[in-house]
């Protein structure tokens, strides 16, 4: 049973990775305009916000929690960035302030969940609305577009003549950090234990609340970083930036095989899920699928990604059940 549980998890990661490869091969061959450098850079650039938030979200979901306020945090961070820029503050001061704001947003979520014992789903649906509301109060319906060119270039430009966005290496560094933290540190091991059985984790001396708080803070931080990136990338800070992004992030992470109930999954799978979703959205745009229909596809993917591994598990549990029912012989 252990064996099949392990190989099943591996298989799901592999399935998502394979789907990504198949989609890319298909698109290179049959979708007009997919393979050129400009489109590829669009694909990656548009997917980066999802990917950036997916990093901490993966850890958070593994630990059995979720943060739906990330898109609002990103929007708030962009709004504050625009408002302060309008006030004439230096961008070098603004960006750190926005990141601190993200930490505060994460802290609020984390404290509500860990100190008051509220379910994170409910808490972050609340802050989803609250943070977005504050963003609108801060910036109104303005759009701030005149950020310094060199910053916009970093967020939107490409490395030389290649299709690789200039911000991509930064993402790779953050990805490496997240992979190591989740899969190679005591912190990551604890996250899996907390997600699989919080009570047992507590009895093993793991500081569950502290760890969850840290994860919410990290998520808030990455959400605000994404908000800054978004405003620069699209050269527009508006209160409604990144609206609905949480849906894509959660869909991608679950699609990548992270168990919604916590305790299972790999970052590799999550990132494969992110780029599968990103590539799919890109291809749909090239094929002139409307934005509304794309949201429908994302929603369906979300349901399928929750359902898929579960159906697989039911099958393997049913199989294993027949074997496990046999008592092991006493030597």
**Which of 8, 29, 23, 30 is closest to 281 using CA atoms?**
23
Among 141, 288, 292, 328, binds other proteins (CB under 8 A): 328
Residues of this chain, 164-193, that bind other proteins according to CB under 8 A: 180, 184-186, 189-190, 192-193
Q: How far is the CB of 196 from other proteins (least distance, A)?
A: 5
* Contact (Cβ atoms closer than 8 angstroms) between residue 9 and residue 264: yes
Structural tokens at position 59: 């850890």
> Mask: binding to other proteins, 205-224, rule CB under 8 A, as x and -?
xxx-----------------
Regarding 326 and contact with other proteins (CB under 8 A), the answer is: yes
Angstrom distances, CA of residue 256 to CA of 151, 230, 248, 272: 32, 23, 12, 6
How many residues contact other proteins, by CB under 8 A?
A: 36
Nearer to other proteins, 192 or 230 (CB): 192
Question: DSSP string covering 80-110, please?
Answer: HHHHHHHTT--HHHHHHHHHHHHHHHHHHHH
> How many whole angstroms separate alpha carbon 79 and alpha carbon 71?
12
Residue 325's Cβ-side half-sphere holds a number of Cα atoms within 13 Å equal to 5
The 3-state DSSP class for residue 231 equals: helix
Regarding 6 and contact with other proteins (CB under 8 A), the answer is: yes
Among 95, 156, 201, 232, binds other proteins (CB under 8 A): 201
Regarding 330 and contact with other proteins (CB under 8 A), the answer is: yes
**Which of 150, 164, 174 is closest to 52 using CA atoms?**
174
> How many whole angstroms separate alpha carbon 170 and alpha carbon 253?
20
In angstroms, the first-to-last Cα distance of the chain is 20
Structural tokens at position 192: 């899996």
Regarding 305 and contact with other proteins (CB under 8 A), the answer is: no
In this chain, which stretch among 103-111, 163-171, 197-205, 303-311 interacts with other proteins, using CB under 8 A? 197-205
Regarding 29 and contact with other proteins (CB under 8 A), the answer is: no
Regarding 10 and contact with other proteins (CB under 8 A), the answer is: no
> Mask: binding to other proteins, 38-77, rule CB under 8 A, as x and -?
----------------------------------------
Among 161, 203, 288, 291, binds other proteins (CB under 8 A): 203
Residues of this chain, 251-290, that bind other proteins according to CB under 8 A: 263-264
* Residue ranges in contact with other proteins by CB under 8 A: 1-3, 5-6, 180, 184-186, 189-190, 192-193, 196-197, 199-207, 263-264, 322-331
């Amino acid at each position: 049973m252990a064996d099949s549980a392990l190989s099943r998890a591996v298989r799901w990661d592999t399935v998502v990775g394979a789907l990504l490869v198949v989609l890319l091969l298909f698109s290179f061959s049959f979708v007009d305009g997919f393979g050129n450098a400009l489109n590829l850079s669009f694909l990656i650039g548009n997917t980066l916000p999802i990917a950036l938030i997916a990093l901490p979200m993966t850890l958070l979901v593994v630990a059995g929690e979720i943060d739906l306020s990330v898109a609002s945090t990103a929007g708030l961070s962009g709004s504050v960035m625009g408002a302060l820029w309008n006030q004439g503050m230096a961008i070098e001061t603004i960006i750190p302030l926005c990141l601190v704001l993200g930490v505060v947003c994460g802290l609020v979520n984390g404290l509500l969940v860990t100190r008051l014992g509220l379910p994170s789903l409910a808490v972050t649906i609340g802050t989803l609305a609250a943070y977005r509301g504050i963003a609108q109060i801060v910036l109104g319906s303005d759009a701030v577009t005149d950020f310094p060119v060199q910053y916009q270039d970093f967020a939107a430009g490409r490395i030389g003549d290649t299709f690789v966005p200039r911000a991509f290496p930064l993402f790779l560094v953050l990805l490496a950090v997240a992979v190591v933290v989740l899969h190679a540190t005591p912190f990551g091991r604890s996250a899996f234990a907390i997600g699989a059985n919080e009570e047992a984790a507590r009895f093993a001396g793991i500081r569950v609340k502290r760890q969850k708080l840290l994860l919410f803070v990290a998520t808030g931080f990455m959400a605000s970083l994404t908000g800054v990136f978004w405003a620069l990338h699209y050269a527009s800070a508006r209160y409604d930036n990144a609206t609905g992004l949480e849906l894509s992030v959660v869909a991608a992470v679950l699609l990548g095989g992270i168990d919604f109930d916590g305790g299972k999954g790999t970052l590799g799978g999550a990132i494969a899920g992110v780029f599968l979703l990103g590539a799919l959205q890109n291809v749909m745009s090239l094929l002139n699928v409307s934005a509304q229909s794309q949201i429908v596809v994302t929603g369906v993917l979300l349901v399928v990604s929750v359902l898929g591994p579960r159906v697989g598990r039911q099958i393997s549990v049913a199989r294993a059940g027949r074997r496990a029912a046999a008592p092991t012989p006493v030597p």
